[in-house]
Chains A and B, each alone.
Chain A
Amino acid sequence: MRFKLHVWRQSGPNAKGAMEAHDVDGITPEMSFLEMIDLLNEKLLADGKEPIAFEHDCREGICGACSMVIDGVPHSPERAVTTCQVHMRSFQDGDDIHVEPFRAKAFPVLKDLVVDRDAFDRIIQAGGYVSVNTGGTPDANEIQIPKVAAESAMDAAACIGCGACVAACPNASAMLFTAAKIAHLGQLPQGQVERGARARAMVEQMDAEGFGNCTNHYECMDACPKEIHVEWIARMNRDYLKASLTAKD
């Protein structure tokens, strides 16, 4: 198979970027999308040019490092996958393929397809946890949790923190990411004590980072490789509102 790849190149955080076209040849349908870029990078390197910088690590869809937009869709037009899980058999021989970084004000480009997603870490740091120290915890089976609640919490906890939701949203909103963590902990008994404070702190941090708000496009859910559901956003809004109205501070 052969393709014409149009890739965003940007030499540094403050540099002006542009799309750059490359012909890639000798691709097989079994190759993953990233292996296709590996091959192109080998070619660039052989020509003495700088390879395309991109983030990747586990290459099995769980680490959340991939941060590419393929043909206008974060990760890929395929549903429920990260870029590393996309294979070239999903494309037609001869296709033009456009590759850009995740774009959002809160995700500045560092180089080529690499973006800075520290804002997500700061949202978790603001309150995405249960405040227990190591040691002194009760026996694990002293906390009984209905299977349905545990499974539902796991659905929300499956978020890999990649940021596709932000890149897909016309408002560059991080509400799906933030809501997923709030829903994970908020559905478990362990998360009740700080439920309101957590929702407030995380939402406020999310706003401070420059992410937009939700206007119900649901593009985030469509782009999410783990199919995190937008219903968590409604839940977050309820938790946030309730906490804001009843807060003592």
Chain B
Amino acid sequence: MQLDAKIPDGPIAEKWDRHRREMKLVNPANKRKFKVIIVGTGLAGASAAASMAELGYDVEAFTFHDSPRRAHSIAAQGGINAAKNYPNDGDSIWRLFYDTVKGGDFRAREANVHRLAQVSNNIIDQCVAQGVPFAREYGGLLANRSFGGAQVSRTFYARGQTGQQLLLGAYQALSRQIHLGKVTMRTREEMLDVVVSDGRARGIVTRNLVTGEVVSRAADAVVLATGGYSNVFFLSTNAKACNVTATYRAYKRGAGFANPCFTQIHPTGIPPSGDHVSKTTLMSESLRNDGRVWTPTKAGDTRPANQIPEADRDYYLERRYPSFGNLVPRDVASRAAKERCDAGHGVGPGGRGVFLDFRDAIQRVGRDAVAARYGNLFDMYHHITDSNPYETPMVIYPAPHYTMGGLWVDYNLMSSIPGLHVIGEANFSDHGSNRLGASALMQGLADGYFVLPYTIGDFLARAGNSGVAADAACFTEVEAEVNARTATLLAVNGKRSPDSFHAELGRLMWDKCGMSRTREGLEEALRRIPEIRAAFWSDVSIPGSGADLNQTLEKAGRVADFLEFAELMCRDALDREESCGGHFREEYKTEEGEALRRDDDFCFGSVWEYQGDDAPPALNKEHFTFEHVPLSTRSYK
């Protein structure tokens, strides 16, 4: 596999402008002759679909939901970063770039991150123009708050529903293009494979989830905006339907999968209350602005939080990281919580929890002010746990959240398959091995509104029309494979539900490839995963048929892909003999227990290339150079 990142020449601050000057353009009258398929209509997909339709491309967008507004971007709570420097606290494009490269623990491509920081400001302008109701100060200007991993306030927010409001903005822009006839919107239609022939993506094969019909869809370019794969852990903060199928299928058709082991464990999830729990609910990172994290100083202290005096409380983040305190990045906060719980200081069910306490904030600014900032989050917590965070501290524990890994893309956001572009969480590009808070919304919208609409034009101008119709042999072959796979799944006729296999896989992955990883554990997982997979294919039960709405069948297909993908993830984690960001190998840590990066040997992105079901994937490397943010040990002390 040839990996050419296509990073433009020139000083870093000028690369994007220079690239835009040099890219080829498609004549306005010719744009409508190019068909672009966009799979997924979350922040990245909806913004890309709307923007490209506005430019004049013939866009066909797909979602497996009943409406684009249901995408999981909607659940993002805290906010979106931008380098506006409205609070006058010393922020700049450079500082956002620097923080993001450092926050990602030096495993992202500098040029991409700088471009992200540059266009961050355009995103806020765009969203305000759309009518996104961001929080404001009394003078009528936009409000900001601070977030983990930064010492400036650069996060814009709409109460605790920022993702919802940004998604509705993009959804409305998309709706307008649907109304104008510029976007053909296909809801309840799931992509099951991508079609590649003569070295170029030609389209996709989908299944209509209501009628079961399998259909070929041809296009001149395909865009995947299908999100992340945290549901490989079964319990994660992702919505139930989030899955790896689209990106994994593309991988099996030749797209390189980069850094699959880079998963983010978010420090502030609500710990599961028992085996029945079907998903983890996240409490926004913004809570760490005012909440203080602590555990009892004495191991095994079972007194209720409010009866533990100040002297017996260990505010361990403030103790260990005095300069960032409760606002250390997510990977650091998660590991610190695990360390306390492993040492016997945990609270709540099974001792797997730490307190997030608002007592001092309520005393300082009053209950009303706290309610104005976090009211809906407090209500959500109260609903789930039946415990009132205004009166007793929340109990939180780290939970799988975001995946920095994804399909490899070059500077133009194109995968290693020409014509197949990947945007948002589905690609690997900007967050390295740890994403900073409020950066996911920024990246999704940067890719969709301001990057891909330019770069895809360059591809189309150079490559021309695909010229392969949906009835070509390459499509009918893939269609037949998709149909055969569905038939095989339905014919197993076993005893166990897809969910039971998913939960079994998830427990294994959380245990062996979760917050901390060891060689032994990963090797064991690599032995166990094929066993679970074999059991799945001999004992899964899917009642009903493939010819109508069958949610068990949908789930089974997604679980089947997770059962293969999990192996790739463990293989990547095993290969990466260092600790960086969210990837923590017990063998590689400092005396103080901090992550030990090994830049001499691992300063690269691991790009895995499929070699067939019976052969191990090949490892390709994209070496990262850091010319502007010098490689250094991250310190938040």
Contacts and interface: CB of A to CB of B under 8 A. Distances in A.
Q: Do A and B come from one complex?
A: yes
Given A46-B495, A63-B72, A81-B383, A157 B168 contact: yes
Contact of B66 (A65, A129, A184): A65
A71 to B, nearest CB: 18
Contacts of A55: 66
Contacts of A145: 136, 140
Interface string A153-171: 1100110110000000000
Contacts of B133: 150-151, 153-154, 157, 184, 188
Most chain A CB within a 10 A radius of its CB, from B122, B133, B142: B133
A196 B124 CA distance: 26
Contact of A140 (B47, B84, B241, B273): B84
A64 B168 CA distance: 12
Contacts of B175: 121, 124-125, 128-129
B541 A45 contact: yes
B126 A144 contact: no
Interface in A29-82: 30-32, 34-35, 38-39, 41-42, 44-46, 48-51, 53, 55-65, 81
Interface stretch (B6-14, B275-283, B578-586, B619-627): B275-283
A191 interface: yes
B386 interface: yes
A188 B65 CA distance: 30
A60 B380 contact: yes
A131 B176 contact: yes
Interface string B67-87: 111101011000000001010
A60 B50 CA distance: 27
B141 interface: yes
B65 A57 contact: yes
B543 A134 contact: no
A132 B140 CA distance: 22
Nearest to B165: A157
Given A58-B75, A60-B75, A125-B179, A130 B129 contact: yes
B552 interface: yes
A64 B69 CA distance: 9
Interface in A113-138: 114, 116-118, 120-121, 124-135, 137-138
Contacts of A38: 276, 278, 499
A50 B141 contact: no
A51 B551 contact: yes
Given A45-B552, A134-B50, A161-B69, A118 B187 contact: yes
Interface stretch (B28-36, B97-105, B156-164, B337-345): B156-164
Interface in B233-255: 239-241
Contacts of A128: 172, 175
Contact of B210 (A45, A110, A139, A146): A110
A150 B549 contact: no
B464 interface: no
Given A50-B544, A59-B281, A190-B129, A121 B67 contact: yes
A118 B165 contact: no
Given A30-B273, A53-B551, A126-B179, 4 more contacts: A38-B278, A57-B70, A133-B51, A134-B54
Counting from the closest, the 6 A-B pairs by CB-CB distance are A144-B140, A129-B172, A137-B129, A134-B51, A154-B133, A140-B128
9 contacts: A50-B544, A51-B543, A57-B240, A62-B75, A62-B164, A81-B383, A85-B380, A116-B66, A134-B450
Interface of A: 11-12, 28, 30-32, 34-35, 38-39, 41-42, 44-46, 48-51, 53, 55-65, 81, 85, 87, 89, 110-111, 114, 116-118, 120-121, 124-135, 137-141, 143-147, 150-151, 153-154, 157-158, 160-161, 184-185, 188, 190-191
